Structure 1
Amino acid sequence: MSENRSLVRRQTFRHAEIIISAALAFTCSVANLTEAGALLLVRSESAVPDVFDLTIGPSDDRHPCRVIWRLPGEVGVCFETTRAEA
């Protein structure tokens, strides 16, 4: 079966951190990565909010993310360039 994705996915197993607020964050793993998003491996997909910031590896750079889909133990996210403040 061929994929019809416009961006190439790079497989990676990097450690990452889902940052929900200044006081709440938890670790996850990045299974694959594109310029537009990532597949995150998580303990509980229901604990991941719809929008959050993600840091990958030793970098302190934050990537605003929005959840696109959820499966048991997995969350697909897209990277947002801007996020409207609530």
Structure 2
Amino acid sequence: MVQTRRAPRFRVSKPAQIERGGDKTPCTVRDISTSGAALQLFNSIDRIPSAFTLIIPEDNLKLRCRVVWRTPFRVGVMFD
């Protein structure tokens, strides 16, 4: 398999929130790198915007993100 990612990703299981316009949606970070992450949602991702802030309280991080792929309960993001 050819690896097309810019940076290696690390498997994690960290609680996080997707924040946009004051609305927060809980999620779990499933893997992360310096350039992006894969997020698991508890409900369908239909209402997840194409750009948002990812909040990872455990690491005290707030990261601007853009969606690069979607499946029914996961979303892949690139950090801005």
Q: Normalising by structure 2, report the TM-score.
A: 0.87
Measure the CA separation in 2 of the matches of 1:29 and 1:75.
10
Question: Any residues of structure 2 matched to 1:47-62 within 5 Å, and which?
Answer: 47-62=47-62
Looking at CA atoms only, which structure, 1 or 2, has the larger radius of gyration?
A: 1
The answer as to 2:19 corresponding to 1:19 is yes
Asked whether the equivalents of residues 66 and 78 of structure 2 are also in contact (C-alpha less than 8 Å), the reply is yes
Q: Percent of aligned positions with the same letter in both sequences?
A: 32
**RMSD over aligned Cα atoms:** 1.5
Structure 1: gaps (5+ residues): 81-86
Residue segments in structure 2 that go unaligned for 5+ positions in a row: none
Distance apart, 1:72 and its partner CA: 1.1
Relative to structure 1, the CA distance from residue 58 to residue 46 in structure 2 (aligned partners, 3 Å threshold; closer, same or farther) is same
Distance in 1 (CA, whole Å) between partners of 2:19 and 2:45 is 14
| Structure number having the greater helix percentage | 2
Structure 2 counterpart of 1:69, one-letter code: W
